[in-house]
Amino acid sequence: MVLTETAYAKVNLALHVRRRRGDGYHDIESLFAFVDDGDVLRAESRNDGVITLNIDGPFATGLDSGPNNLVMRAARSLPLSDKAIGANLHLTKNLPVASGIGGGSADAAAALRLLNRLWGCGLDDAALCLIAQSLGSDIPACVISRTLRVEGRGEALQPCDLPGVSGTSILLVNPGIALATGPVFQGWDQQDRGALDTSSLDAIIGDGRNDLEPSARALVPQIGDVIAVSGAQAGAALARMSGSGATCFALFCEPEAAQSARASIGASHPNWWMMLGSLR
């Protein structure tokens, strides 16, 4: 049997950093939304207990498919009564690496959802999220892959069904530069600029922010160009950086405007990566 699961790209519609914790993590308040596209993970069952991983796609180069890959770690974390159950996993890497849109976290979450189905584990989302907590901060949210208010270091999740979010057209744009999360957080100025209002999409657009953007732009100045170009497109309601960058996004009220923006930006900046989709 072969099953397929999408590792949905994660977008921080807003990201407020409140404080650095004693354990080295940061307390955040964020609104996570998920695009209806991303990496693709396929699994074929096998009956010898072996788990393998092959990776292809435009961003596969340099990725380790060994036991330390998050997909492999996620696969081994599922409780199995039959130790002879295994799988051949195949990941098509469509999302750029180290780009602020989930990436490895989304892949690990997709592996949990996919193998839960393939192996008949019968675990609900709560059980999968509990497993995901041991793998990484963003992975529980990526298991759910629906709009969520996220607090703490990423483990406190609250469903947030804001009118106007689901179905909104979104254009992801990356200048083609990988950006590690650690240095961006280290460059945060440690100023608490206030709580995140998730009462409406208008509040997210008008009062939300990404507190990591100044630090990220200091490391990758091209982020400023991406935001400026994306925000200048006709019909763009919001242009902002996602996560720790360098991927940015623009929201559009009309899908035709998003399609036109993709064509326009692609013509003027052919080396930038883009993905057009809708929020789930």
Catalytic sites, residue numbers: 10, 138
Largest CA distance in the chain: 56
* C-alpha span between 121 and 116 (Å, rounded): 5
Pairing label, strands 236-241, 248-252: antiparallel
* DSSP structure class, residue 83: T
Q: 46 with 86: CB under 8 angstroms?
A: yes
Which of 123, 142, 118 lies closest to 132, judged by CA? Answer: 142
Would you call 111 exposed, middle or buried from its count of C-beta atoms within 10 A (0-12, 13-18, 19+)? buried
Residue 39 structure tokens: 């990496």
How far is residue 138 from each of residues 91, 103, 182, 187, 243, measured CA to CA in Å? 19, 10, 14, 20, 11
What does the alpha-carbon distance between residue 99 and residue 177 come to, in Å, rounded to a whole number? 8
Long-range contacts of 200-204, Cβ-Cβ distance < 8 Å, separation of 24 or more: 200/162, 200/163, 200/164, 201/162, 201/163, 201/164, 201/165, 204/13, 204/14, 204/31, 204/162, 204/238
Query: 246: cis peptide before it, omega within 30°?
Result: yes
